[in-house]
Structure 1
Amino acid sequence: MVTPSSPFAFVESLFARIGERLQPPAWAVHEVQHRAVLFLNHVLQQEPEAQDRLARQKGRVVLFRWRTMHMRLVATPAGLLDLAPDAALPDLTLTIAETSPFALAGAQLRGDKPKVEIEGDVQLAAEVNWLVDHVRWDVEDDLARLIGDAPAHAVGSAARKVAGALRQFVDRAARPRASGGSAE
């Protein structure tokens, strides 16, 4: 969490002010959402159980919201996702409660899930939660298709080390300092 004394407080405040005033054009938002759906479907195609679960939810609409951004997704009969029309009524609305992108990134690095407000169908919410808990992108496998197994493994190993170092940094930064102690 970014506190007023945090070095990121100014940057976060600046981003918030800019984000309130500048909004991307609708076509750009649609393109980014379309690319996100393509990526999610790529990951889902590697998990047959996930596709089976989504196929059982065909036609159901989930609205994801964070700050001023939102995206409506609909489950297809093939067990994949598609963008739902803006007028589609959601069966489930998931709103990420944390508004700070820095706090969200820190929670992600620690392996924590963000707090989410849930409105709507409980069974659909349980299926979405299962997908979040069990579906993972195998980056190394995709990279191996492009550059080969050994280089992909080396890149994956380096990325895991960097992620571990970032996790340690975030953990140390999140720990409250002992009052009256000297800073190292």
Structure 2
Amino acid sequence: MPDTSAFLAPVTALTDLVLPAATARLILLANHVLSSAPAATERLKAHAGRALHIEVEGWRLPLPTPPALTLCITPAGLLESPDVGAAEPVADLRLRMDLSQPLEVMRRLAAGELPPVRVEGDATLAADVSWVIANVRWDVAADVERLFGPLVAEGMSRVSGQALAAARSVMQGVAGLRRS
């Protein structure tokens, strides 16, 4: 196997710079999506103060493995990072995403599905988080319409639908080639 350390050093340095900002944006997006689903925040409010630990398994890309992420549930039923400098909270629930087959993960995402996620920990919290994962989706079209108006949103929806159909077709073709 070739030595990738010379390639990975700058990638790791860049990751260390970008990761905190990307994590903060991911949490903002997750909270935006949760806020649009009152049933989801109601379910999560009952678990305020509990911690979720999210990990990636089976990473095979020639890039650093995404680090584990710990999130705490707020009294509002939203998510936040633990306080900087505080001890890492003990995870009440672990979510492990299997990314060992990147093409299959991309195919599932293109089909509107989630990658395989293994949930371990408190049964009640696991049931509510599993419900949120299964039932809450980002309504991108509604956000685009709010920002740009219905005419632009309709055009973007049409274009993104065509792009998604093309991506599905490519992924089905790749899957068919792999089976042959």
Shorter-chain TM-score bucket reads 0.7 to 0.9
Q: Which runs of 5+ in 2 are unaligned?
A: 60-64
How far 1:18 moved relative to its partner? 5.0
**Within the alignment, does 1:32 sit opposite 2:26 as a pair?**
no
Stretch of structure 1 that moved more, 25-34 or 90-99: 25-34
Tell me the distance in 2 between the aligned counterparts of 1:152 and 1:108: 21
Give the secondary-structure state (helix, strand or coil) at the position aligned to 1:131: helix
**Residue type of the partner of 1:43?**
V
Any runs of at least 4 consecutive aligned residues in structure 1 with deviations exceeding 6 A, and if so which? 13-17
TM-score by length of 1: 0.77
How far 1:177 moved relative to its partner? 6.7
Q: Which runs of 5+ in 1 are unaligned?
A: 1-12, 180-184
C-alpha contact 2:72 2:82 (8 A) present in aligned 1: yes
> Compared with structure 1, are the counterparts of its residues 25 and 111 closer, same or farther at alpha carbon in structure 2 (3 Å cutoff)?
closer
Stretch of structure 1 that moved more, 89-98 or 168-177: 168-177
% identical aligned pairs: 30
Tell me the distance in 2 between the aligned counterparts of 1:110 and 1:17: 37
Stretch of structure 1 that moved more, 103-112 or 53-62: 103-112
> Compared with structure 1, are the counterparts of its residues 162 and 88 closer, same or farther at alpha carbon in structure 2 (3 Å cutoff)?
same
Residue of structure 1 equivalent to 2:77: 79
Aligned length in residues: 167
How big is each residue's C-alpha offset from its partner over 1:44-87, in whole Å with a ceiling of 9 and x where there is no partner? 11111111011111111100011532111111111111112561
Residue of structure 1 equivalent to 2:62: none
How far 1:145 moved relative to its partner? 1.7
Tell me the distance in 2 between the aligned counterparts of 1:121 and 1:18: 41
Aligned residues: CA RMSD:
2.8
